[in-house]
Amino acid sequence: MDLKDATLMFLAEAAAYPSVAEIAQSAYDRLVEGEEIDYRILSDLVGEASGKGVLRAMRQKYSPVAYEAIIMPVLQEIGRRAPIRSSRPTWQPGDGDPLTAGIPHRYEEPSGGRPGT
């Protein structure tokens, strides 16, 4: 199943949920027109479907293999296009040497004196 088919399945399954159906329709229409689709639209689709219980209903309705075949193209596209956010702090000019910043010196006392004095 490709991304277009997957969004069509979301659209069909979300008929009773206008907010989910609206996002799915928008995504499907863009794909039919051959346009690129922003990962945020797909992320909103999955989030809204999850919040409204559409994903739960799909999981109950379809076999595990069929359920994954429906949602995986959407999740893979999100994973492929979403920017990677680092949890590491970024170095700023003025923070000192970026290679040693945040590394305590081995023989430095908390008071700044030398050990053993």
Mean pLDDT by 10 residues, the chain (117 residues): 94 94 95 93 95 95 95 94 77 62 58 56
pLDDT of residue 115: 56
The one-character DSSP state at 63 is: -
Show the tokens assigned to 52: 């409204």
- Residue ranges of alpha helices (H) inside the chain are 3-13, 18-32, 39-51, 54-61, 64-81
**Structure confidence at residue 84 (pLDDT):** 79
Residue 85: predicted pLDDT: 77
Long-range contacts of 23-32 (CB under 8 A, 24+ apart): 23/48, 24/49, 28/4, 31/3, 31/4, 31/7, 32/4
